[in-house]
Amino acid sequence: MTPEMSEKTLLRGRLLAARATLDAPSLAHTAASFARHGLELAELAGASTVAAYVSVGREPGTRALLDALHARGVRVLLPVLLPDNDLDWAAYEGPERLAKAGRGLLEPVGPRLGPEAVCSADAVLLPGLAVDGRGMRLGRGGGSYDRVLARLTRAGVDPALVVLLYADEVVARVPEEPHDHPVHAVVTPEGVVRFSAGPTA
Protein backbone atom coordinates (compact mmCIF):
# COMPACT_ATOMS: atom_id res chain seq x y z
CA MET A 1 0.00 0.00 0.00
CA THR A 2 1.40 3.39 -1.01
CA PRO A 3 1.47 6.29 1.47
CA GLU A 4 -1.26 8.00 -0.61
CA MET A 5 -3.49 4.91 -0.42
CA SER A 6 -2.93 4.68 3.34
CA GLU A 7 -3.81 8.35 3.78
CA LYS A 8 -6.95 7.85 1.70
CA THR A 9 -8.00 4.88 3.86
CA LEU A 10 -7.63 6.89 7.05
CA LEU A 11 -9.51 9.88 5.63
CA ARG A 12 -12.31 7.65 4.33
CA GLY A 13 -12.73 6.13 7.78
CA ARG A 14 -12.99 9.52 9.45
CA LEU A 15 -15.48 10.88 6.92
CA LEU A 16 -17.68 7.77 6.99
CA ALA A 17 -17.73 7.90 10.80
CA ALA A 18 -18.93 11.51 10.64
CA ARG A 19 -21.68 10.59 8.15
CA ALA A 20 -22.80 7.78 10.47
CA THR A 21 -23.85 10.40 13.05
CA LEU A 22 -26.36 12.09 10.69
CA ASP A 23 -30.03 11.57 11.59
CA ALA A 24 -33.07 11.24 9.31
CA PRO A 25 -34.37 14.83 9.73
CA SER A 26 -31.00 16.35 8.83
CA LEU A 27 -30.69 14.01 5.82
CA ALA A 28 -34.13 15.07 4.56
CA HIS A 29 -33.32 18.76 5.05
CA THR A 30 -30.00 18.56 3.23
CA ALA A 31 -31.52 16.57 0.32
CA ALA A 32 -33.86 19.47 -0.41
CA SER A 33 -30.93 21.90 -0.26
CA PHE A 34 -28.86 19.74 -2.63
CA ALA A 35 -31.70 19.76 -5.16
CA ARG A 36 -32.17 23.53 -4.92
CA HIS A 37 -28.48 24.39 -5.29
CA GLY A 38 -27.91 21.67 -7.88
CA LEU A 39 -30.59 23.13 -10.13
CA GLU A 40 -28.94 26.54 -9.82
CA LEU A 41 -25.68 25.13 -11.18
CA ALA A 42 -25.52 26.11 -14.84
CA GLU A 43 -23.87 22.85 -15.89
CA LEU A 44 -26.81 20.84 -14.54
CA ALA A 45 -29.60 23.31 -15.34
CA GLY A 46 -28.50 23.60 -18.96
CA ALA A 47 -27.68 19.92 -19.57
CA SER A 48 -29.72 17.72 -21.87
CA THR A 49 -28.15 14.52 -20.45
CA VAL A 50 -26.82 14.07 -16.90
CA ALA A 51 -25.14 10.92 -15.60
CA ALA A 52 -25.94 10.65 -11.91
CA TYR A 53 -26.52 8.02 -9.20
CA VAL A 54 -29.11 7.14 -6.57
CA SER A 55 -27.91 8.04 -3.09
CA VAL A 56 -28.22 5.36 -0.41
CA GLY A 57 -27.78 5.39 3.35
CA ARG A 58 -26.25 8.63 4.60
CA GLU A 59 -24.81 9.77 1.31
CA PRO A 60 -25.72 13.32 0.29
CA GLY A 61 -29.24 12.94 -1.05
CA THR A 62 -29.58 12.88 -4.83
CA ARG A 63 -33.17 11.70 -5.21
CA ALA A 64 -34.91 15.08 -5.11
CA LEU A 65 -32.38 16.38 -7.64
CA LEU A 66 -32.91 13.35 -9.91
CA ASP A 67 -36.67 13.88 -9.84
CA ALA A 68 -36.33 17.60 -10.53
CA LEU A 69 -34.02 17.01 -13.50
CA HIS A 70 -36.28 14.25 -14.83
CA ALA A 71 -39.34 16.53 -14.50
CA ARG A 72 -37.53 19.18 -16.56
CA GLY A 73 -37.07 16.69 -19.40
CA VAL A 74 -33.38 16.08 -18.76
CA ARG A 75 -32.24 12.61 -19.77
CA VAL A 76 -30.80 11.17 -16.55
CA LEU A 77 -28.52 8.14 -16.78
CA LEU A 78 -28.00 5.97 -13.71
CA PRO A 79 -25.25 3.41 -13.13
CA VAL A 80 -25.68 -0.35 -13.07
CA LEU A 81 -22.81 -2.10 -11.27
CA LEU A 82 -21.22 -4.88 -13.31
CA PRO A 83 -19.50 -7.95 -11.78
CA ASP A 84 -16.05 -6.50 -12.48
CA ASN A 85 -16.96 -3.18 -10.74
CA ASP A 86 -17.29 -1.32 -14.04
CA LEU A 87 -20.53 0.57 -14.69
CA ASP A 88 -23.22 0.05 -17.29
CA TRP A 89 -25.95 2.73 -17.58
CA ALA A 90 -29.72 2.92 -17.93
CA ALA A 91 -32.19 5.81 -18.11
CA TYR A 92 -33.96 7.04 -14.99
CA GLU A 93 -37.72 6.64 -15.43
CA GLY A 94 -38.87 7.67 -11.95
CA PRO A 95 -38.53 6.25 -8.43
CA GLU A 96 -41.03 3.46 -9.10
CA ARG A 97 -38.66 2.12 -11.77
CA LEU A 98 -35.76 1.53 -9.38
CA ALA A 99 -34.94 -1.93 -8.03
CA LYS A 100 -32.75 -3.13 -5.20
CA ALA A 101 -29.38 -4.43 -6.33
CA GLY A 102 -26.22 -5.70 -4.67
CA ARG A 103 -24.34 -3.72 -2.01
CA GLY A 104 -27.53 -1.93 -0.97
CA LEU A 105 -27.71 -0.01 -4.24
CA LEU A 106 -30.79 1.00 -6.20
CA GLU A 107 -30.60 0.59 -9.98
CA PRO A 108 -32.91 1.44 -12.88
CA VAL A 109 -34.84 -1.48 -14.37
CA GLY A 110 -34.87 -0.24 -17.99
CA PRO A 111 -32.71 -1.37 -20.93
CA ARG A 112 -28.96 -1.33 -20.41
CA LEU A 113 -27.23 1.21 -22.63
CA GLY A 114 -23.62 0.03 -22.28
CA PRO A 115 -20.62 1.46 -20.40
CA GLU A 116 -19.94 3.99 -23.17
CA ALA A 117 -23.33 5.67 -22.69
CA VAL A 118 -21.80 7.95 -20.05
CA CYS A 119 -19.82 9.64 -22.83
CA SER A 120 -23.06 11.27 -24.05
CA ALA A 121 -23.52 13.17 -20.78
CA ASP A 122 -23.14 16.94 -20.58
CA ALA A 123 -22.53 16.63 -16.83
CA VAL A 124 -21.55 13.73 -14.58
CA LEU A 125 -22.57 13.66 -10.93
CA LEU A 126 -19.87 11.71 -9.10
CA PRO A 127 -20.22 10.17 -5.65
CA GLY A 128 -17.50 11.12 -3.22
CA LEU A 129 -16.44 11.50 0.37
CA ALA A 130 -14.37 14.68 0.05
CA VAL A 131 -12.98 17.21 -2.39
CA ASP A 132 -10.10 19.58 -1.72
CA GLY A 133 -9.35 23.12 -2.87
CA ARG A 134 -7.79 21.85 -6.10
CA GLY A 135 -10.92 19.90 -6.97
CA MET A 136 -9.34 16.51 -6.23
CA ARG A 137 -12.02 13.98 -5.22
CA LEU A 138 -11.83 11.19 -2.67
CA GLY A 139 -14.10 8.29 -3.62
CA ARG A 140 -14.94 5.13 -1.71
CA GLY A 141 -12.05 3.22 -3.26
CA GLY A 142 -13.94 0.74 -5.43
CA GLY A 143 -12.51 2.11 -8.66
CA SER A 144 -15.79 2.19 -10.60
CA TYR A 145 -15.70 5.93 -11.21
CA ASP A 146 -11.98 5.89 -11.96
CA ARG A 147 -12.97 3.72 -14.93
CA VAL A 148 -15.75 6.14 -15.87
CA LEU A 149 -13.34 9.10 -15.82
CA ALA A 150 -10.76 7.17 -17.85
CA ARG A 151 -13.48 6.27 -20.38
CA LEU A 152 -14.45 9.94 -20.74
CA THR A 153 -10.81 10.86 -21.33
CA ARG A 154 -10.35 8.15 -23.96
CA ALA A 155 -13.50 9.34 -25.74
CA GLY A 156 -12.16 12.89 -25.82
CA VAL A 157 -15.23 14.34 -24.10
CA ASP A 158 -15.17 16.84 -21.26
CA PRO A 159 -18.47 16.89 -19.35
CA ALA A 160 -18.80 18.97 -16.20
CA LEU A 161 -17.78 16.84 -13.20
CA VAL A 162 -19.85 17.64 -10.11
CA VAL A 163 -19.82 16.13 -6.60
CA LEU A 164 -22.47 16.44 -3.86
CA LEU A 165 -20.91 16.75 -0.40
CA TYR A 166 -21.74 17.94 3.08
CA ALA A 167 -20.06 21.27 3.81
CA ASP A 168 -17.37 19.85 6.12
CA GLU A 169 -16.29 17.38 3.40
CA VAL A 170 -14.71 20.18 1.37
CA VAL A 171 -11.28 19.71 2.94
CA ALA A 172 -7.82 21.24 2.81
CA ARG A 173 -6.20 18.32 0.98
CA VAL A 174 -7.12 14.96 -0.52
CA PRO A 175 -4.24 12.50 -1.08
CA GLU A 176 -3.69 12.33 -4.83
CA GLU A 177 -2.67 9.42 -7.06
CA PRO A 178 -1.69 9.63 -10.76
CA HIS A 179 -5.07 8.38 -12.01
CA ASP A 180 -7.11 10.94 -10.03
CA HIS A 181 -9.05 13.64 -11.91
CA PRO A 182 -10.07 17.06 -10.55
CA VAL A 183 -13.75 17.94 -10.59
CA HIS A 184 -15.28 21.22 -11.68
CA ALA A 185 -17.70 21.96 -8.85
CA VAL A 186 -19.05 20.74 -5.53
CA VAL A 187 -22.66 21.24 -4.46
CA THR A 188 -23.16 21.45 -0.68
CA PRO A 189 -26.32 22.25 1.34
CA GLU A 190 -24.92 25.78 1.68
CA GLY A 191 -24.27 26.38 -2.01
CA VAL A 192 -21.79 25.72 -4.80
CA VAL A 193 -17.99 25.64 -4.64
CA ARG A 194 -16.19 26.00 -7.98
CA PHE A 195 -12.61 25.18 -8.89
CA SER A 196 -10.35 27.04 -11.29
CA ALA A 197 -9.90 23.94 -13.47
CA GLY A 198 -13.64 23.80 -14.11
CA PRO A 199 -15.68 25.40 -16.89
CA THR A 200 -17.01 28.88 -16.47
CA ALA A 201 -20.72 29.58 -16.50
175: CATH = 3.40.50.10420
Q: What's the whole-number mean pLDDT along residues 138-162?
A: 93
67 within some domain: yes
pLDDT greater than 60 at residue 147: yes
Q: Could you give the percent of the chain with pLDDT greater than 70?
A: 95
Average pLDDT value over all residues in the chain = 91
Reference 2, options 181, 180, 151, 137; nearest CA is 180
99 within some domain: yes
- Rounded to 5 degrees, φ, ψ at 141 are 100, 5
Amino acid at 118: V
57 within some domain: yes
199 within some domain: no
Q: Could you give the percent of the chain with pLDDT greater than 90?
A: 81
Model confidence at 180, pLDDT cuts 50, 70, 90, reads confident
pLDDT greater than 90 at residue 192: yes
Integer Cα distance of 183 and 160 in angstroms? 8
Model confidence at 5, pLDDT cuts 50, 70, 90, reads low
Q: Which domain holds residue 49?
A: 3-194
Cβ contacts of 36 within 8 Å, gap of 6 or more: none
pLDDT confidence of residue 168: 93
**How many CA atoms, within 13 angstroms, populate the side-chain half-sphere of residue 38?**
28
48 within some domain: yes
pLDDT confidence of residue 201: 38
200 within some domain: no
pLDDT greater than 50 at residue 165: yes
81 within some domain: yes
163 within some domain: yes
pTM above 0.75, yes or no: yes
B/e letters for 80-111, b = 16+ CB within 10 Å, e = fewer, are bbeeeeebbbbbbeeeeebeeeeeebebbeee
User: How many domains does the chain fold into?
Assistant: 1
CB 184 within 8 A of CB 161: yes
Span 44-93, pLDDT tens digits? 988 999 999 999 999 999 999 999 999 999 999 999 999 999 999 999 99
CB 189 within 8 A of CB 34: yes
